[in-house]
Amino acid sequence: MNESLTQIAAISRIYGANLSYVFGGGGNTSCKTEKVLCVKPSGVLLATIQEDDFVQLDRAAIRAVFEAEIPSTADARESAVKSLMMATVLPGSKGRPSVEAPMHELYPQRFVVHLHPTLVNGMTCSVDAEAACRRLFPEAMWVPYVDPGFILSTEIRRLLEAYTASHGKAPRLTFMQNHGMVAAAETIAEIEAIHAEVFSVLKAHYAQAEVATELAMGDLAADAVAARAPAVRTLLGIGGKRAVVHSSAWFQPARGPFSPDHIVYAKSFAMTGEPTAEALASFRQERGYDPVIIGLPGEAVLAVGDSLKTARLAMDAARDAALVQQLTEAFGGPRHLPERDYRFIENWEVEQYRKQVTVGGSSAGRLDGKIALVTGGAQGFGYGIAQGLASEGATLIIADINADGAREAADRLQAEFGASRAFSAAVNIADEDSVAALAQEIARECGGLDILVANAGVLRAASVKSFAKKDWDFVTNVNYTGYFLCVKHLSVLMARQIVNGKGGWTDIVQINSKSGLEGSNRNAAYAGSKFGSIGLTQSFAMELVEDRVKVNAICPGNFFDGPLWSDPERGLFVQYLNTGKVPGAKSIADVRAFYEAKVPMGRGCTPVDVVRAILYCVEQEYETGQAIAVTGGQVMLR
C-alpha cells in the first residue's frame, strides 16, 4: 500500500496543479488493496495532497453501505450516508470520506482517478454528449446525469454490473454527463495512457470542428475595472466587511451552469452589465443570491469573494465554464443543468463543506477581510509590519522597488499564512507613472484597498556644509514626494469604495519618524522630509475625511536591528561612525550604545510596536491627522 499511495499521491499532485484537469477542490483519486480503500478526503486539494492525507476505509464496510436502508429524501439520504461512511474509516486514519468514496469502491481496478478535464467536459456538457461518447470512445461506459453523492454511486453500480456482464470486464474509462470522467487501471502508467488517449481523440475532433481549445479573450480595460470594482467591494460586502473583487480580461461568461464544481465556486449564473446598486439588487431578487461573476462586456470580468482566495477560485471556475461552453459547439451546443439539478447543488451541504474546507475559514484577526498595502515591504521594518498585519488577518500587497525582494517577501507570507494571503508589486514611489500602475494593479487583483501603510523611505546623513544636492533630492523625492504620489493615486480607490455616502472607513498610515517631531543633527534632508510629511498628513486628513479616509502618521523611534541601522556597509551606525556624528565613538557598538541610552525604555523600536499603533489607527474611528509617537519615551509630545 505504501508504494501505491506514493504513486497515487504523486499523480494526484500533477493533475491537481493543472487547471485543464481540475480546479478548486474538485476531482478525486484512490488506490486499494484487498481490504482497504485509500481515497482523497473531502476538502483536500489534489494539487497538494500527500500520502498521509488519504483517508483509509474498510472496503467490506463500504460495500455494506449499498445494502443499508437509506432514506429517500435528499437531505436525509445524504446525512445517513455521511454517517455510514464515517463509520467505515479505519482506526488511526483521519479526514471525512468524500461522497465519491463508494463509487471508487465499485471499480475493481487498483487505481481510480476521477477528474473534470475541460476538454472532456466540452463533450460531456453538450447536447450530443452521449452519441459523441459512443462514437469517439466505443469502449467507454456512459453515465447519464444524476445527483452527485450516493445516488451517483448507486447508478454507477447498476451500470457497472451491466457493462461487466456484456463486456466480460469492468470499464477502464467512464464518462459522466456534466461531471467529467473516471479512469480506472492497475498501474499509474495505464492511468496516464488513458488520459493521453482521451485528450488526443478530443483535440482531433475539436480541430476538425474548427473549435478553438483556448478560451477566446479580449483585453482588460484597466480603467473600467478601477472605476467599478471598488464600489462592488462595498455593494457586495457582508457583515460590514468589503468583498474582494478579482478581475480578468474580458471573456464571455457561461450562460448557465454546467457542473457541480462550477456551481460551488461561481454559482449557477453570472451577471452581465453595469454593477449598479439597482442592478445588483435586481439580480439578487431574481436568483436568490448575490452575483459571484460579473461580466462587463468587452472590458473585463469580475469575480467576487469574501477573500482573495475565494475570488480567484471563482475566476478559475468562470474561465473553465466559459471554455466548456465554447467547446460544446463541437458537439451541438451546450447542455446546461436544468433548474432542479442546479438548485440541488446550490443547497447541498456536502459541496458547501468541501468549499469551506478547500478555501479555509476566517482568520478571525482584528484585520480580517481587509486589503493592506505596505510600501517598502520587502525587508526590514516594512516586512515586519506586513507580517504583523497578516497575522491579524489582512491580505498583504508587498510593494517595493526591489521586485525580487518583494516577491520573496510575499512568498514567505504565503508560506506562513496561506495561499492568496499576499502578493507582490514592483513600484518606484517617486515615479508617478509607476504609482498609477500600482493603483491599477491593486484594483485588478483585489478591487480596492482598506489600509495603505506608506512605509518606504530612504536616508542620507551628512553635514549641511557638505551635503550633496543629488542626495537631498533623492531623500526628498522618496520620503516626501513619494508619500504624496501614493496618497494621490491610492486614495482615489479608497474614495470609490464609498457608495451613496455609505461604506466603512479606510486608513492611510504614514510611517514617519521621531525625526519628524524634532530636528536631527547632520540629518537635515531626512528630518525635513519627515517634518514636511506630517504637514501632508494633516492636510490629507482634512481633505479625505469626506471620503471616509482617515490619515495618520506614526513616528517610531529607531529600529536598531533593521538594515537601515545595522547594514554593515550602508547602515546608519556605519554612516554615523564615519561622519563623526557620535563624539568619541570608535566602533559600531559605541554608536549603538549611544543611541540606546537616549531611550528611557532602554531599547529601540520594533515592528511589533508599530503594528500595534497601526491597529489603533484603524480601529479608532475618531482619530485623523495625528502624529503618534512610538519612541519608548524618547520623544514626548505636548
Query: Catalytic residue positions?
Result: 526
Which of 508, 494, 510 shows the shortest CA–CA distance to 550?
A: 508
Dig out the grid coordinates for 230 from the structure. 471598488
Classify residue 204 as exposed, middle or buried by CB count within 10 Å of its CB (0-12, 13-18, 19+). Answer: exposed
Which residues have a Cβ under 8 Å from the Cβ of 272 and sit 6 or more positions away? Answer: 253, 294, 295, 297
Which residues have a Cβ under 8 Å from the Cβ of 112 and sit 6 or more positions away? Answer: 29, 30, 31, 32, 104, 182, 183, 184
Please give the Cα distance from 4 to 111 (Å, whole number).
8
Please give the Cα distance from 244 to 294 (Å, whole number).
13
The answer to whether the beta carbons of residues 411 and 423 sit under 8 Å apart is: no
DSSP states of 427-438 as a string? --TT-HHHHHHH
Dig out the grid coordinates for 496 from the structure. 470609490
* Exposure letters 594-606 (e unless 16+ CB within 10 A, then b): bbeeebeeeebbb
Q: Which residues pair with 57 in a beta bridge?
A: 37, 89
Torsion angles phi and psi, residue 99, rounded to 5: -65, -15
Residue that has been written with the C-alpha cell 509617537 in this structure: 629
The answer to whether the beta carbons of residues 629 and 514 sit under 8 Å apart is: yes
Classify residue 239 as exposed, middle or buried by CB count within 10 Å of its CB (0-12, 13-18, 19+). Answer: exposed
The answer to whether the beta carbons of residues 172 and 107 sit under 8 Å apart is: no
